[in-house]
Structure 1
Amino acid sequence: MIRVRRTLLCLAASALLLGSPLLHDHAQAAAANTGSKMSGQAAADKAKVTAGETIRAALFANLGNKSPGHTQQVTLTSPETITVQARTAQNGLALGISQARYSMDQYQIKVIETKDKATAQAVLKKVQASDSARLIHIPRRGATFYAVYAGYYNTENEASQALKRYEGDASIQASLQGARSTIAGPHYLQAGTYNSLAEAKTTLQLLLDASFDANVVIIQSSGKTTAAVWVGQASSQAALDKVQATVGQALPAVNVRPVQATGALVQSLEDTGSGTISHYRVYGNEKWGIEPAKDSTIKVTERSQRTYRGLMEVSVHNKELALVNELPLEQYLVSVVGGEVYSSWPAETLKAQAVAARTFALYQNGKFEIANVVDTTLSQAYYGTEKEHSNIKSAVEATAGEVLTQNGKLIEAIFNSNAGGKTADPSEVWGGSYGYFQVVDSPDDVIQEGKKNWYYVALPSGALGYVREDVVTKEASRNKAGLQIAYPKENGTNIRPIPAIQSNVNPVAQADKGTGLIVLNTVPESTEYAWMRGPYTAQEVTNMIKSSTKTAFSGTVQKLAVTSRGPSGRVTKMEVNGVPIQVSYPDSFRSVFGGLPSTLFEVVSSSNYTVAGASGKSTDKNGISGGTAVDGKSSSPQNLKDGAIAINGKGEAKAINSQPTYFFKGKGYGHGVGLSQWGAKGLADKGYDYQKILKYYYKNVELIKR
């Protein structure tokens, strides 16, 4: 529904506005585990990385529900020339270039090869309308030919189906001008090995000039990274046999044989539109290290143009392209801590985060198949060099090698952005318990410093929303109902759906000077400490519950209630229309209701209110049907209408409606388990050092240096 989409945009915009140092938690990572919702000590026992060693962070990889991302290609760029090395070899091979592209060596469709670049570009454009495609430069007989290759296909059958589509496309066929498209597959013959790429090009040119499809490749041979020439690019072994016979007839001096490597980088020259780039297709199961010059960096175009230290490893894992960044652990931590908290925060907060991040990273070993960690919040936020800062570097260096242990073993030093004033027990988040997490008061409200209050207001039109206190003037006097009236200072003042400015979300209304806004309530600005999400209609909430849980209930939501809370007050059970909502663990309520920041919330409905009777007893009401009230203008009871304002005994007001809308009003950002980052800042502001901060959030732990 449109409203739901808009609400999700609200969430994203709000998070962006808040400028959070974290904006994530490890809930997904914990939820991915089986049995207990945490990975258990088994993962810690596997930890092999120690301070001073390297760590492997997966940027792209097929790791099931732990995948950091998927891509068909990666483009790596360094300020200086790069070296490639088979990870099983003893040496590297200088490529003499500073940029290259990598993809899997899969089945493709060779749509056309022609000397007419304009024809090739026209075909490329048509193919790219429905498929991935690239333009490859091929030097033959003193001229440059241009070949259009389409698709990445896992099997010959998939490629055959794609070929049929192209053969049936009249527009593409007209552009081919009679040329015949063929399947290009990952089947090759080897035509010698060479000490350098330059030496290999002589044999390559013989094959290209004889109209064969051939490439220079980088392979591992006898423990060395070296060059070879492969010919064929055939769709099957039968087709490759024909290539071998043809090569023998046309070029008897070129000795071809089965390939002599289990892995290779197959080189071609791709047209970028503004130049060319070396494109290497990853063949087989070898892993390849792409390393810049000493102390230089590598930029990954497909990873938001981020730049990284260390080397990049490209490989094929679980039938997909994988990219792993390998670098010294302490360098990794400088980026991670910079991505987790503000560099301007107190030094003791930064040190506490450095120790927690180091401990957590070491604990993760063995969890991500080909890497120690991933670069997403399934592990820790890792953005490469863009988050590095001298303050962070100092904090990491000051705590070098320090980790948290219990009974001599690493703890899973989970942390969160903002605990909402009280940290969580794992039992109320994922189920189960750990000996080093505790429920403690957390000074997370430090984030509210300098923030404005907002008024929840009712407009004359009946619209409801929030307006910031500094853009209106509130009268000191009250109306007959005892409520204050506020007037906008400027025409076109925005009335917001939640108490925060969201650049991607339209206001619910605008009000001009002179428009009286009835102030129903005063709330803090929505931040990671205190937040609000909504409003949602009953149908929207119904759709949320039915689309994300197996809860069976009839009709739409009439009553949504929290029925149980954990030790810290977080929601552990809920009911809809009296039926328990089925979730696998309590923290799942966050995703059920559109991605709530935490489970430390209450549900506020516009149709629920309490009526005080003459006998002193109160009655809970849902909806306004049949209800009457005195409206302040007449002593006679009037039928309740949508937008009627109800005031409780505390003077708190709310607008009630026949059709309920729901708000989620809560505190905290993240699961709340372990160290709270905003709380750690609050403790540092009070004079705590990093050791006291860590032992405040993690109980019965030791801080040791590995």
Structure 2
Amino acid sequence: MLLATAILLLFTTVMAAAPARAAVPTLDNIRVALFLQLPGKYTSTTPEATFSSPGGMTIGITVGGGAAAPWMTAPASANVSLALDDFKVKVLETANFANALSLYKYLQTASRTAYLTSLSKGGAIQYQVLEGAYTTVAEAQAGLARWSADAKLAPLTGGYKSELQGPFHLETPAYANKAAAQAAAAGFGNAGVDAWVAVREGKGGALYSVMVGAAASADALKTIQAAALKAPGGAGLKAVEANSAYLLLRSDHSASQTAAAPHELYQFPAGDMKLWIAPAGQQPIKLAERSGRTYRGSFELSAVNGKLAVVNELPFEHYLYSVVAIEMYPSWPAEALKAQAVAARSFVLNKGLGFQIAHVVDTTLSQAYYGTTAEQPSATAAVDATKGEVALYDGKVIEAIYSSSGGGMTADASEAWGNTVPYLQPAASPDQISEAALLNWHRVVLDSGETGYIRGDLVKDTGRKNEAGARILETTTDGINVRRHPIIQDTVPVVAGIGKGQTVIEIDSVIESNPMNWERGPFTGEEMATAINARVSDKINGLVTSIAVSKRGPSGRVTEITVNGKAVAVSSPDGLRSVLGVGGSLPSTKFEIEETGKMTVLGAGGQTDTRTGSAPLYVMGSDGRATAFNGEYVYAGDGKGNVRAATSAPGFAFSGQGFGHGVGMSQFGAYSLAQQGYDYQYILQYYYKGITIAKE
């Protein structure tokens, strides 16, 4: 059917039409959340965000939605970190940098929210190791209890008693400049209290003051105030007003991990304050915590649900430059890239401000977006060539869903999410292109009785067969990893390692797992129970002994399964990919299940006997003697080379087609259609039924 479809498409002439003119929604700038916590919807957090730009940066603030003029700059290529002024645990204060660094590394490994900072105190530099980005004092107290009970900390802290830090501060009047504020902070430090330079907005630039203490409560701040009276200027200290806008400056050694090279860490209150950063020149801004990627436009930082939110704001079309280059291979035909550009543009305009303070996020929950780091000339050209074009159905911008591969047939929307969408219907999809140039893998039996996959170019046929007619293969090199699935990925376990000259028995041969065809498993009943129970509320008692498909949708995708005879409840059918995934989701819901722990024996008169579980299988010869097969693995052959691998205990292997939810445009299908000479409009209208392509 697919081959016939491909041939039909090849010889059909389609005349490209100019996009219709219509009232199309527009978006000048898009807001992309890189870090944001929205409980129940999206979570990607970081305790701090570190920015730099070759041309320097300009920093400003907005409070309560009001715009503020730029009032602070960062030098070219200098790292500047931003974080919330929240609750933390001070785990150590010491003059010994090596001790502080050792503790920082331990805490960072354990919690990923550690800081190594320094300040002038008692006439010397003291290093403080802080942990946490806690929203409330109760959370910080729980953190304090955790670290106080950690026996591994004692050798690293030398008996130092951990304490809480928080966003309650005292503040001096403004000083003439930053240097004067730094000198005043050192004076407070000489009196034995923590003090830092603070920055506020002033007329024509920044104002510098000193903030003293970082208390976790107003009462604790009173104790600090009494101690600060001993320092020059201590009598003039006043408590910082709640919801006021400021930046508290710490010296941060976390990134450099050296005593001599701290960078500036600015903390701002978790209120209405919004901090923004823009490049001072034409160079993009680098964000270290997002894999060091660089981005066009500016950034806004704020507190959302008590956590640091980082949003990149940039021209909408420039955002698409990155998305198209990541979501589709830039080397693919131009018409496929144009189809991707229109789909990506339509997807955003359909969603609106979908994430409270942002239109989209930068992951595949929306669309993958990696900033300028990912941009490629071919993708940029595709975006420019289709500027402003969107897909409409009944006059409205469609939700242009797409996935990597339809596995030969795209899905109906109901098969993925349970709802019907008129333009998201199944379509035969020429996705076989993803298998081009891939190697075959052999599923083999090792001397241990275990099974796994070996890549075809690592073995040779000996020309011999065993008694069951199965081929005997011989390895041709050393250092071969026998893998659980026929694909090389870090997440795919290695069953065993074997060397050159070893013989193995071939069970079958399959092409390397790819977006068109894939294999997963077999998985044990225990593994399946663990995976399923991690994702459903109605837990399974004991092992999984059976998994059966109870319903399929129009394209053949699984929409319901039963486990141990009981239907599994999921929020949407596509959720079954996650529910059934061991070590990661299944690639798609278009699959078949083989229960490897079940064997059916055909007897005289056509009668059958199905065996499951750990009961041994007996084979009786003509002499009346019976042999029990009660090992972990059982292999049945017909003497013609056809072998089935079964397990004595329950086991489950999945074979499927497609990658992703399968709804809407198949990207590999778009590639194939473009190769056959079809333009982007035809590709879009092929996958999204009844749409028109329009631009303003």
Provide the TM-score with structure 1 as the length reference. Answer: 0.81
Q: CA deviation at 1:660?
A: 3.6
Q: Which amino acid aligns with 2:493?
A: V
Q: Indicate how the Cα distance of structure 1 residues 69 and 111 shifts in structure 2: closer, same or farther if over 3 A, else same.
A: closer
Residues 345-384 of structure 1: matches in 2 within 5 Å? Answer: 345-384=332-371
Taking the aligned partners of 2:162 and 2:422, their CA distance within structure 1 comes to 64
Matching residue of 1:674: 664
Q: Indicate how the Cα distance of structure 1 residues 523 and 155 shifts in structure 2: closer, same or farther if over 3 A, else same.
A: closer
Q: CA deviation at 1:133?
A: 5.3
Matching residue of 1:281: 267
Q: What SS is found at the alignment partner of 1:79? A: coil
1:529 aligns with 2:505: no
1:146 aligns with 2:101: no
2:388 to 401, 409, 421: 401
Taking the aligned partners of 1:542 and 1:172, their CA distance within structure 2 comes to 37
1:315 aligns with 2:296: no
Taking the aligned partners of 2:615 and 2:219, their CA distance within structure 1 comes to 79
Q: CA deviation at 1:673?
A: 0.6
2:251 to 269, 273, 294: 269
Matching residue of 1:691: 681
Taking the aligned partners of 1:473 and 1:691, their CA distance within structure 2 comes to 47
Matching residue of 1:62: 37
Q: Number of aligned residue pairs: give it.
A: 651
Q: CA deviation at 1:306?
A: 1.8
Residues 403-482 of structure 1: matches in 2 within 5 Å? Answer: 403-459=390-446, 461-474=448-461, 481-482=468-469
Taking the aligned partners of 2:485 and 2:161, their CA distance within structure 1 comes to 60
Percent identity between matched residues is 38
Residues 20-169 of structure 1: matches in 2 within 5 Å? Answer: 50-51=26-27, 53-87=28-62, 88-97=66-75, 98-108=78-88, 117-118=95-96, 122=99, 125-126=102-103, 129-130=106-107, 134-138=115-119, 145-148=125-128, 150-152=130-132, 153-156=134-137
Taking the aligned partners of 2:679 and 2:151, their CA distance within structure 1 comes to 72
Q: What SS is found at the alignment partner of 2:209? A: strand
Taking the aligned partners of 1:64 and 1:408, their CA distance within structure 2 comes to 34
Q: What SS is found at the alignment partner of 1:74? A: strand
C-alpha contact 2:72 2:206 (8 A) present in aligned 1 = no
Q: Which amino acid aligns with 2:99?
A: A
Q: CA deviation at 1:600?
A: 0.5
Matching residue of 1:10: none
C-alpha contact 2:198 2:211 (8 A) present in aligned 1 = no
Q: Which amino acid aligns with 1:523?
A: V
C-alpha contact 1:423 1:568 (8 A) present in aligned 2 = yes
Taking the aligned partners of 1:490 and 1:242, their CA distance within structure 2 comes to 72
1:486 to 460, 470, 473: 473
Taking the aligned partners of 1:170 and 1:639, their CA distance within structure 2 comes to 57
Q: CA deviation at 1:140?
A: 7.5
Taking the aligned partners of 1:628 and 1:111, their CA distance within structure 2 comes to 65
C-alpha contact 2:72 2:205 (8 A) present in aligned 1 = no
Matching residue of 1:296: 283
Taking the aligned partners of 1:469 and 1:307, their CA distance within structure 2 comes to 41
The range that moved more, 542-551 or 679-688, is 542-551
1:556 aligns with 2:534: no
1:591 aligns with 2:578: yes
Taking the aligned partners of 2:175 and 2:409, their CA distance within structure 1 comes to 65
Q: Indicate how the Cα distance of structure 1 residues 64 and 99 shifts in structure 2: closer, same or farther if over 3 A, else same.
A: same
Matching residue of 1:37: none
Q: Which amino acid aligns with 2:131?
A: G
Q: What SS is found at the alignment partner of 2:673? A: helix
1:315-366 CA-to-partner distances (Å, cap 9, x unmatched) read 2111111111111111111111111111101111111111111111222322
Matching residue of 1:21: none
Q: CA deviation at 1:293?
A: 2.2
Matching residue of 2:591: 601
1:375-419 CA-to-partner distances (Å, cap 9, x unmatched) read 111111111222111111111111111111222222111111111
Q: Indicate how the Cα distance of structure 1 residues 638 and 686 shifts in structure 2: closer, same or farther if over 3 A, else same.
A: farther
Q: Indicate how the Cα distance of structure 1 residues 258 and 702 shifts in structure 2: closer, same or farther if over 3 A, else same.
A: farther
Q: What SS is found at the alignment partner of 1:688? A: coil
Q: What SS is found at the alignment partner of 2:486? A: coil
Matching residue of 1:187: 168
Matching residue of 2:322: 335
Taking the aligned partners of 1:237 and 1:75, their CA distance within structure 2 comes to 30
Taking the aligned partners of 1:93 and 1:374, their CA distance within structure 2 comes to 29
Taking the aligned partners of 1:169 and 1:540, their CA distance within structure 2 comes to 32
Q: CA deviation at 1:480?
A: 6.1
C-alpha contact 2:612 2:649 (8 A) present in aligned 1 = no
1:152-190 CA-to-partner distances (Å, cap 9, x unmatched) read 444456656777898999999999999998754323355
Structure 2: gaps spanning 5 or more residues: 1-22
C-alpha contact 2:55 2:281 (8 A) present in aligned 1 = no
Q: What SS is found at the alignment partner of 1:572? A: strand
C-alpha contact 1:474 1:484 (8 A) present in aligned 2 = yes
Q: CA deviation at 1:59?
A: 1.2
1:245-303 CA-to-partner distances (Å, cap 9, x unmatched) read 88789667986556576322212223444302111001132111111223212222222
Q: CA deviation at 1:670?
A: 0.5
C-alpha contact 1:308 1:385 (8 A) present in aligned 2 = yes
Q: CA deviation at 1:447?
A: 0.6
Taking the aligned partners of 1:137 and 1:475, their CA distance within structure 2 comes to 68
C-alpha contact 1:424 1:672 (8 A) present in aligned 2 = yes
Taking the aligned partners of 1:250 and 1:205, their CA distance within structure 2 comes to 10
Taking the aligned partners of 1:209 and 1:512, their CA distance within structure 2 comes to 70
Q: What SS is found at the alignment partner of 1:313? A: strand
C-alpha contact 2:634 2:645 (8 A) present in aligned 1 = yes
1:105-158 CA-to-partner distances (Å, cap 9, x unmatched) read 1234567777xx43x6535644764586545444579x6532525234444566
1:461-506 CA-to-partner distances (Å, cap 9, x unmatched) read 5333333333333366866645444333446655432222345632
Q: What SS is found at the alignment partner of 1:95? A: strand
Taking the aligned partners of 2:534 and 2:640, their CA distance within structure 1 comes to 38
C-alpha contact 2:103 2:129 (8 A) present in aligned 1 = no
C-alpha contact 2:197 2:249 (8 A) present in aligned 1 = yes
Q: What SS is found at the alignment partner of 2:283? A: coil
C-alpha contact 1:292 1:298 (8 A) present in aligned 2 = yes
C-alpha contact 1:108 1:149 (8 A) present in aligned 2 = no
Matching residue of 1:227: 207
RMSD over aligned CA atoms reads: 3.9
Q: What SS is found at the alignment partner of 1:268? A: strand
Matching residue of 2:19: none
Q: CA deviation at 1:663?
A: 0.9
Q: Indicate how the Cα distance of structure 1 residues 248 and 354 shifts in structure 2: closer, same or farther if over 3 A, else same.
A: same
Q: What SS is found at the alignment partner of 2:437? A: coil
2:198 to 198, 203, 217: 217
